[in-house]
Every structure is written in C-alpha cells, then in structure tokens.
Amino acid sequence: MILTVTPNPALDKFYWLESLPENLGLTEEGSAIRAEKSMTSAGGKGINVSVFLAAHGIDTVAMGFLGGHTGQIILRDLLARGVGTNFVWIEEENRINVVLIVRGQGYHPIHIHEAGPNIPKEALDIFLRMYERMLLRAHYVVLAGALPPGVPLDFYAELSRKARARGVPVVVHAGGEPMLRTLRERPFLVKPDVRETLRFGDLPLRERDEVISAGRHAIAQGASSCLISYHLTGDILVSEDGVWEFEGKLSPSAFRNIVGADDALVGGILVGLTQGKDLVESVKYGMAAAVASAKVDEKLCLAKEKIAAELAQVEVKFWGKG
C-alpha cells in the first residue's frame, strides 16, 4: 500500500476560456468572463498521486484533514475513484482552488488558491496517532503539497522521521521550508515544488548546472535522490549513483492543462517502483505520465495507452556520477 499525506486538500475547479476580456479590470461596471467548459475534482498534490495510483490498480490510502461540505465532496470523489481514505475531520471548510485556462495557453494557467482551514492541535494529535498505525501497512509514504494554517513547518520532517523508524521509504513532493527540513531525515526521494520560485532554499534553479548543484546539495544534506524540474518538459535526477536528465517531447502548442502533470510524474515513479523498475526507469515512466497529462483537459491522464505512447518519446541522458 502507498500512503499519501495531503495536509491541505482542495476542491479544484477548472474553467476553460476562449480568451480573457481586453477590458478586464478597466471598466466601472466590472468584467464578465464566460467559461466554455468547466471541471471539478478532488485535489491537492498527494490526493492527485493517489488518484493516479488507484487508476493503475495500486492499493493507496489518502490521509489529511477534511471539513465541511467541501470535504464531503472531496471524500465522495476519492471513494468513487477507488482511493482508500483515512482523514481527520475538522470543523472548518476545506479550500477551493480555481484555475483559469485560456485556450492555446495551457502552459500558463491562472491559479487562485485559498489558504485552507486552520488545523487545531487536537486534530494534529489525532492525525499522528492514525499515521503511525497506517505506517504498519505502507510500502511507501508520499508527503505532498503546502501546509495549511496551524500546521508546524517541521510537520513533514516529523512524519519522515516516523516513517524511517518503521523502514518505510519517503517521497517528499513539496516545497519551501517544510521540504528542506525533511532532508536530515534521509527521505528516499525529494521532488521540490518550484512553481512559485525557481529556488531550492537559497540556491537558484535557472540553469542546468544550478539544478545539478541543488540536487547534490540535497544528497549531501541526507536525501537519497532528488528530482528537480528543469523546464516544462524536462527534469534532472541526482542521486549518489549519478545525474540523469529526462526530456519529454511536447511543443508548447500541445499543452492543454499542466496543473496535475507534476503529480502524475510522482505517481508514475511510484508505479514503476512497485513494478520492480529501478529509479531511472521509474522516473522515465513518470515523465511519460506527466507529458500525457499535459496533453489532456483532465488534471491527470489515466489512460495507460497514452502514457505508453509518450514513454517511447522520452529521452534520458546520463551526465555522469553524482
């Protein structure tokens, strides 16, 4: 079983537009934006990973905090998709994230993210007890996404430490200080979220050499491997065994929705690992899943035949020992 932790689940609402009004924000009357299409689904990075895994027939359980009517919608969606759940219920409502996608500009979506509910200490204590029990069944743990208000910055570090004590490999799919604090707990794989800033702590991530240096820094700090997005269709993997660059074939005009591509990447890696592939082959499958997801309107491409078609196009370059 693969356990995913999403502390700040969301209900994702997507709207596709032909274009944005030219007078947006310039008129006294305001502007009306009409969507040609919309879509709603349970969201949050770990939840997306669980949905991808369940579609591949892999046993997965999603954990986190749910509350209110929005939480009920998230739960129903996950159960309908075959995802096991073990959430802590809170009083406040879960967040709703809105994404605007202009046709032809799928590589540049407009995000409107809520902060999420405040998580009381009592809920955190309950979660930690539940998490320790779930570790007894887990083969991998995925710690994913931003932390909501009330959750301490060392939350992922604590969860990583508990998993390591049980011998369960940890994948950290998050950014900022919560991700950095996990490094000393020796996670199996770190996938930094660099959507808001192209930095790994104080290290810039603009050029290939900078990305490789950041990956090596993560290894020196304790991570077994580090995968960093280099550009829209390329990632660099750094481990003690070497440095690899993965490149998917996708022109900007083919992008339709990139929002879930990173989560499909992580899900694809875990699919490969559970099938007995090594890390490099697993990342290659994850890259194919990410590219396939960017080509569809849905947040995640769950069609195995489409992923297989992209897999044949993924290029892998070995840049030498780490």
The model scores a pTM over 0.85 = yes
Quick one: 253 exposed, middle or buried, by C-beta within 10 A (0-12, 13-18, 19+)? Answer: exposed
Residue labelled with tokens 């909501």: 148
Q: Nearest CA to 33 among 87, 110, 88, 107?
A: 110
Percentage of the chain lying above the pLDDT 90 cut: 77
**pLDDT of the chain along its 322 residues, tens only?**
999 999 999 999 999 998 877 666 555 566 778 888 999 999 999 999 999 999 999 999 999 999 999 999 999 999 999 999 999 999 999 999 999 999 877 778 889 999 999 999 999 999 999 999 999 999 999 999 999 999 999 999 999 999 999 999 999 999 999 999 999 999 999 999 765 555 666 666 677 888 888 899 999 999 999 999 887 778 999 999 999 999 988 777 788 888 999 999 999 999 999 999 999 999 999 999 999 999 999 999 999 999 999 999 999 999 887 5
Reduced to 3 DSSP states, what percent helix, strand and coil does the chain have, rounded to the nearest 5? 35, 25, 40
Quick one: 169 exposed, middle or buried, by C-beta within 10 A (0-12, 13-18, 19+)? Answer: middle
Q: Is the dihedral of CA 311, 56, 253, 204 positive or negative?
A: negative
